[in-house]
C-alpha cells in the first residue's frame, strides 16, 4: 500500500467515468470532489479529438475540462513522431481524430510516408492495408500503432458492442510485413509521461485510476505511480487478478469505494 497521498490524478474514462453515453453511478460526484486537485483525462482511444472528448464529458453531466486536461493516444502519437522527425510525412489508417492530430505536426503523404500509423476506429480496408504494407516493405516506413488494446466496448450503429481495438487493427500489418510496430498508448510509458509533464508532477505523485489491469494499471505501476483499479469496466467484481500483472494499490468496486478507502488512509483527501 502506498504511504504518501498523491498530489495529482490521472483518469481513464471509459469504464471509469462512463459506459457509452451514460455516467457510471457516483462518477459525477467523484469528479466534483476532485475538481480542485490537479487532474487529467487519459485515453488510449485516438478516435475523438480533445475538444470532442470535452464535449462528451460535458454532455454526460461532468464539468467541462480544459482541453489541456484531455490527452489522447492520437495526440501522443503526433508528439512522438514530431520528436523523431520534424515535419514528418505519414500515412494514417484510422478515424478522423487521428488524421487531425497527426496533421498538426506532420503532413499526409501516401507515396513517401516516414510512418504508417494505424489507429483504433474505422478506416482499415483492403486498399489502406495494401498501401501501408508497401510503404513499410518497399519504402522503409516505420509502423506505428496508437494503442495495443485487443478489443474495446463502445456504441456502434446504435447498439452496445465489442469493437476491434488498436492492437487488432494493426495485426494485419504485422502479419503482412513481419514488422513489429512502435506502440504509443497505455501500457507504454509515453502517454503517462506526457500526462505527468502537463501536470508538472513526478510518477510517485500521481494516482492512476483505470478499469483495465493490462493497460491502465500495468503501465502506471511500471513507472512507479500509485494505482487504483475500479471494477466498473472491463474487469468485473470477483474476477481473479491476472497473476502476471502488478497489483494495484487500491482494488475497489467503484469510485465511491475508492473515496472510502482513501478516507481511511488519507482522511480529508477527497473534499
Give Cβ neighbours of residue 257 (< 8 Å, ≥ 6 apart): 230
**Those residues with Cβ within 8 angstroms of residue 190's Cβ, 6 or more apart along the chain or in another chain:** 76, 79, 80, 184
Taking the complex as a whole, how short is the minimal distance between the CB of residue 229 and Mg ion, in angstroms?
10
**Least CB distance to Mg ion at residue 155 (A):** 15
For residues 225 and 231, give the distance between their C-alpha atoms in angstroms, rounded to a whole number.
19
Place of cell 501501408: 132
Nearer Cβ to Mg ion (121/233): 233
- Rounded CA-CA distance 93/128 in Å is 7
- Shortest distance in whole angstroms from residue 171 CB to Mg ion: 21
Contacts to Mg ion by CB under 5 A: 12, 14-15, 211, 233
Question: Among all residues, which ones are annotated catalytic?
Answer: 12, 14
d(CA 61, CA 35): 14
Grid cell listed for 235: 474487469
Q: How far is the CB of 54 from Mg ion (least distance, A)?
A: 17
Instruction: Name every residue whose Cβ is closer than 8 Å to that of residue 146 and which is 6 or more positions away in sequence.
Output: 44, 46, 73, 74, 77, 94, 98, 117, 118, 119, 120, 166, 184, 185
Asked if 270 contacts 259 with a C-beta cutoff of 8 angstroms, the reply is: yes
State whether residue 102 is helix, strand or coil: helix
| 141/207 with CB nearer Mg ion | 207
Least CB distance to Mg ion at residue 12 (A): 4
Which is closer to Mg ion, CB of 12 or CB of 114?
12
Angle at which helices 166-177 and 126-139 cross, to 10°: 50
Closer residue to Mg ion in complex, CB, 181/233: 233
C-alpha 88/C-alpha 75 separation (Å) is: 14
Q: Which residue is nearest to Mg ion (CB)?
A: 15
Question: Of the two residues 148 and 233, which places its CB atom closer to Mg ion in the complex?
Answer: 233
Amino acid at each position: 500500500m502506498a504511504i504518501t497521498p498523491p498530489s495529482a490524478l490521472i483518469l481513464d474514462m471509459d469504464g471509469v467515468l462512463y459506459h457509452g453515453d451514460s455516467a457510471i453511478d457516483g462518477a459525477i460526484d467523484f469528479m466534483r470532489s476532485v475538481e480542485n486537485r490537479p487532474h487529467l483525462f487519459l485515453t488510449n482511444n485516438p478516435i475523438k479529438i480533445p475538444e470532442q472528448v470535452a464535449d462528451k464529458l460535458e454532455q454526460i453531466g461532468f464539468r467541462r475540462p480544459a482541453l489541456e486536461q484531455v490527452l489522447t493516444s492520437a495526440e501522443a502519437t503526433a508528439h512522438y513522431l514530431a520528436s523523431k522527425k520534424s515535419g514528418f510525412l505519414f500515412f494514417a489508417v484510422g478515424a478522423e481524430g487521428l488524421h487531425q492530430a497527426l496533421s498538426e505536426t506532420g503532413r499526409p503523404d501516401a507515396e513517401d510516408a516516414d510512418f504508417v500509423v494505424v489507429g483504433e476506429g474505422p478506416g482499415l480496408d483492403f486498399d489502406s492495408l495494401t498501401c501501408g504494407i508497401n510503404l513499410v516493405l518497399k519504402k522503409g516506413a516505420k509502423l506505428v500503432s496508437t494503442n495495443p488494446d485487443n478489443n474495446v466496448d463502445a456504441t456502434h450503429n446504435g447498439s452496445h458492442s465489442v469493437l476491434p481495438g488498436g492492437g487488432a487493427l494493426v495485426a494485419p500489418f504485422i502479419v503482412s510485413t513481419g514488422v513489429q510496430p512502435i506502440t504509443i498508448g497505455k501500457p507504454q510509458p509515453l502517454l503517462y509521461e506526457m500526462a505527468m509533464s502537463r501536470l508538472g508532477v513526478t510518477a510517485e505523485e500521481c494516482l492512476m485510476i483505470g478499469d483495465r489491469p493490462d493497460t491502465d494499471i500495468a503501465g502506471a505501476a511500471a513507472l512507479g505511480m500509485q494505482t487504483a483499479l475500479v471494477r466498473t469496466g472491463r474487469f468485473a467484481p470477483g474476477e481473479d487478478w491476472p497473476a502476471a500483472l502488478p497489483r494495484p494499490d487500491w482494488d475497489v468496486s467503484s469510485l465511491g469505494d475508492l473515496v472510502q478507502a482513501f478516507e481511511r488512509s488519507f482522511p480529508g483527501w477527497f473534499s
